[in-house]
Structure 1
Amino acid sequence: MAAARPNFMKVGPVIDALVGRADVELVHTGQHYDRAMSESFFVELGLPEPDVNLHVGSGSHGEQTAAVMVAYENHLQERRPDAVVVVGDVNSTLAATIAATKLRIPVAHVEAGLRSRDWDMPEEVNRVLTDRVSRWLLAPSEDACRNLEAEGAPQEWIHLVGNVMVDTLLRNLDRARARRDQLLSGLGVETHALVTMHRPSNVDDVQQLGDTLGTIATAAERMTVLFPVHPRTRKMLLGVGALPENVVLTEPLGYLDFVAAMDSAQIVFTDSGGVQEETSVLGVPCITVRDNTERPVTCELGTNQLTGTDPAAIRAAAATALAGQREPAAIPYWDGKAGARIADVLLADL
């Protein structure tokens, strides 16, 4: 089951590893309905066309979760699969898990055990509840396994398999790098920082959004600040007014172009969990504009710094990062083989 941009990158390696060994059906819930954030990823990543698209679209958390539960339950009653694989922490992840569990269909959760311990984040609620009822807890890192153990998950349900996003990144890195010059030339960008922001805590307050962008522009004042804008954020930017001169807005980028922009950036400012992981593997300095992270391993290795939205903290972290060396992180099991490990775990039990 896939629902949103990060899910597509995570589900691909699992499908590839299962094809030829099991019957696989890909269900797209339609939670992301913008083409650049949905269909284009299937084309670029070579994913098969979804067997089913539930077309749930947007709505409040309750509306979206309920719509997926109803539509997916109907589908499951028709198909009765041996297992359901869900990825990540979006509303569709939780909804599909509940629907399957109520029908006594076991669930495998890819990216189990990640915790920010911030209950103001809807994603944290989705993660914890999904893990509580999933049969296979497929953890990307050792800290995630420890979290699951501390919460009382049966040891035999926890599997350290690695990071499927890294599988996708490593498979496509050469293709992305081949697009770099054309992408940056088309945008009129040379030396640049990259920004991604979409979380409500950063974008729902117009004043906060404008102040944070201004701070980032100052912290990266000698370069262009490239900002591919999430649809949610674009609506809020209308109220910000004039942006700093070095900030360049673009439409959402496809996967390969985004990786090219990230890999060639001098520094990345983000509130995305996945970007923290990808920059760590690439050795690109990352500043996370949040007070917490569900990927603490990236901070422990020094590839990522948490600053919150404090202007002084952002500027100081950026100065430190830009003065340092680009060093790719070596994280156990982030080796491009997570999808194969997941397939082995599932097929051994089924």
Structure 2
Amino acid sequence: MKRKICVVTGTRAEYGLLYSLMNKIKKDDELELQLIVTGMHLSPEFGLTFRQIENDGFVIDKKIDMLLSGDTPAAITKSIGLGVIGFADAYQALRPDIIVVLGDRFEILAATQAAMVSRIPISHIHGGELTEGLIDDPIRHSITKMSHIHFAASEEYRKRIIQMGEQPDTVFNVGTLGIEGIKNTSLLTKDALNASLQFKTDKFFLVTLHPTTLEDSTAENQIKILLSVLDEFQDYKVIFTKTNADTDGRIINAHIESYVQQNKERSIVFDSLGQLRYLSAIKHCKAVIGNSSSGLVEVPIFLKPTINIGDRQRGRLKADSVIDCNFEKNEILRAIKKGISDDFLIKIQTMNQVYGSGSTSEEMIHVLKQFTLDTILKKKFYDIV
């Protein structure tokens, strides 16, 4: 009998990372892929990205509509509750042998809570990491404690998961799926990218700014500062991707849309670029600006500078191509000027990568196929002596 592997995805970025793993599960004769889609994928506001999943040839077994129209803390909390109810029903119908979740978002917290109570083993990707400026940090660690198999992106993160009391033989350093996705994707030429975007890029910045839920300054203040900085680079065009469905995300999106309306010749905004166009945009841009995790994981593979603003990614491993700065206009200006300078670009061409070699999904498949699930639910706390 095939082992039923149920993958949960709630955002465009997460799906882009999971794509290669899902494809391998789907093609494996010993495994059966089940797919639950939720969160932003089902929202018209965020581009109904479940359609891209279907266009890629995947069958969606269950759709769990959990997002409320607001992005206040109360709305997010209620969304988690709706998600737990929806996942409980989905698991009862699908009866997976194990679920696969990635990251630290509230949709995934709902998925793991329901799986834990349903006594379904959980495998978690990207545990052990730190993002000190977000509520994602305690969410991620909570998911780790509910999970039974752990796929860490580095040895440092593997050790931190063990430090949290997880048995060493359940924690695997497999690198990140992002690197593998890049290596297995035939990226668009610049002309093809321009045609797909219907926007002549020339030289451009790729910008994604998410809310920083534990930072002192407001989302409105942060996006205003960033937009004022971009005005200083009139000879650069700007491609924006919208924020995730986090608290105050709509505030950021509204300011970006207004900015693009006033700067149509040099800027454009997308709900979602999709994996191919997003990676192609990284390949051809002059710098990636904002606070997305992709700036730390995927962008360094292209030997491109990342201008990482604020505390959202504080605590994560970073390559030499990442330039940190605070939400202050002059700091961001200096960081961008440094990033696009010839000296910096030459320096990062020979830097070391920090997130693996690109065989991640194969290593995960091996573990998911071979790991004994009969007794895995009875977890013991591992004390480091």
TM-score band (shorter)? Answer: 0.7 to 0.9
Mean CA deviation greater in 193-202 or 81-90: 193-202
Aligned to 1:251, which of 254, 270, 281? 270
* Structure holding more helix per residue: 1
Q: Please give the alpha-carbon distance, in whole angstroms, between the structure 2 residues aligned to 1:55 and 1:313.
A: 40
Q: Does 1:297 align with 2:297?
A: no
Contact 1:210/1:240 (<8 A) preserved: no
Cα deviation digits, residues 166-193 of structure 1 (max 9, x gap): 2222222434767324246x31331111
Aligned in 2, Cα 1:56/1:176: closer, same or farther, shift over 3 Å? farther
Mean CA deviation greater in 109-118 or 328-337: 328-337
Aligned in 2, Cα 1:333/1:249: closer, same or farther, shift over 3 Å? closer
Aligned to 1:348, which of 370, 376, 379? 370
Aligned in 2, Cα 1:266/1:85: closer, same or farther, shift over 3 Å? same
Q: Please give the alpha-carbon distance, in whole angstroms, between the structure 1 residues aligned to 2:165 and 2:97.
A: 25
Cα deviation digits, residues 227-250 of structure 1 (max 9, x gap): 233473322447879867885132
Provide the residue aligned with 1:272 in structure 2.
292
Q: Does 1:208 align with 2:222?
A: yes
Q: AA paired with 1:144? A: Y
Return the offset for 1:340. Answer: 1.1
Provide the residue aligned with 2:80 in structure 1.
65
Mean CA deviation greater in 288-297 or 87-96: 288-297
Q: Please give the alpha-carbon distance, in whole angstroms, between the structure 2 residues aligned to 1:7 and 1:28.
A: 11
Provide the residue aligned with 2:280 in structure 1.
260
Aligned in 2, Cα 1:217/1:328: closer, same or farther, shift over 3 Å? farther
Return the offset for 1:84. Answer: 1.1
Contact 1:269/1:288 (<8 A) preserved: yes
Aligned to 1:338, which of 357, 360, 367? 360
Return the offset for 1:14. Answer: 1.9
Q: Please give the alpha-carbon distance, in whole angstroms, between the structure 2 residues aligned to 1:306 and 1:280.
A: 14
Aligned in 2, Cα 1:183/1:80: closer, same or farther, shift over 3 Å? closer
Give the SS at the match of 2:369.
helix
- Structure 1: give runs of 5+ residues left out of the alignment: none
Mean CA deviation greater in 287-296 or 136-145: 287-296
Mean CA deviation greater in 283-292 or 99-108: 283-292
Q: Please give the alpha-carbon distance, in whole angstroms, between the structure 2 residues aligned to 1:168 and 1:180.
A: 18
* TM-score (norm: length of structure 1): 0.87
Q: Please give the alpha-carbon distance, in whole angstroms, between the structure 1 residues aligned to 2:265 and 2:24.
A: 43
Aligned to 1:227, which of 230, 237, 240? 240
Provide the residue aligned with 2:207 in structure 1.
195
Contact 1:162/1:335 (<8 A) preserved: yes
Mean CA deviation greater in 328-337 or 63-72: 328-337
Give the SS at the match of 2:32.
coil
Taking only the aligned residue pairs, the percentage that are identical comes to 17
Contact 1:7/1:87 (<8 A) preserved: yes
Q: Does 1:116 align with 2:131?
A: yes
Aligned to 1:8, which of 15, 20, 37? 15
Contact 1:192/1:224 (<8 A) preserved: yes
Provide the residue aligned with 1:38 in structure 2.
49
Return the offset for 1:49. Answer: 2.6
Q: AA paired with 1:287? A: I
Mean CA deviation greater in 278-287 or 289-298: 289-298
Provide the residue aligned with 1:281 in structure 2.
301
- Structure 2: give runs of 5+ residues left out of the alignment: 1-7, 244-248, 373-385
Aligned in 2, Cα 1:295/1:9: closer, same or farther, shift over 3 Å? farther
Contact 1:180/1:257 (<8 A) preserved: yes
Provide the residue aligned with 2:154 in structure 1.
141
Q: Please give the alpha-carbon distance, in whole angstroms, between the structure 1 residues aligned to 2:261 and 2:188.
A: 36
Return the offset for 1:161. Answer: 1.1
State how 1:74-89 maps to structure 2 within 5 Å.
74-89=89-104
Q: Please give the alpha-carbon distance, in whole angstroms, between the structure 2 residues aligned to 1:342 and 1:241.
A: 41
Aligned to 1:98, which of 113, 126, 136? 113
Cα deviation digits, residues 246-266 of structure 1 (max 9, x gap): 851323223322222221111
Q: Please give the alpha-carbon distance, in whole angstroms, between the structure 2 residues aligned to 1:39 and 1:126.
A: 24
Return the offset for 1:273. Answer: 0.8
Contact 1:283/1:303 (<8 A) preserved: yes
* TM-score (norm: length of structure 2): 0.80
Q: Does 1:165 align with 2:172?
A: no
Give the SS at the match of 2:150.
strand
Q: How many residues align?
A: 343
Give the SS at the match of 2:184.
helix
Return the offset for 1:276. Answer: 2.5
Contact 1:195/1:228 (<8 A) preserved: yes
